[in-house]
Amino acid sequence: MFVHWETVSAIAAAKVVAIIRSATAEHAVRVGAEIIGAGLPVVEVSLTTPGGLDAIRSLSEVEDGRLIGAGTVLDETTARLAILAGAKFLVCPTVVPEVIATGNRYGVPVLPGAQTPTEIVRALELGAALVKLFPAAHLGPDYLRGVRAALPQVGFVPTGGVDAGNAADWLAAGAVALGVGGALTADPVADNVKALREAVA
Nearest C-alpha neighbor of 45 from the set 67, 15, 13, 61: 67
Candidate list 98, 132, 194, 198, residue with the active-site label: 132
In b/e form, how buried is each residue of 146-157, taking b as 16+ CB within 10 angstroms? ebeeeeeebbbb
Residue type, 38: A
Measured between alpha carbons, how far is 149 from 73 in angstroms, rounded to an integer? 29
Nearest C-alpha neighbor of 162 from the set 187, 136, 142, 186: 136
Candidate list 15, 44, 98, 198, residue with the active-site label: 44
Please give the sequence-ordered ranges of beta strands (E in DSSP) within the chain, or none if there are none: 16-20, 42-46, 67-71, 90-91, 110-111, 113-114, 132-133, 178-180
Please confirm, yes or no, whether 44 is among the known catalytic residues.
yes
Which sequence positions are flagged as catalytic?
44, 132
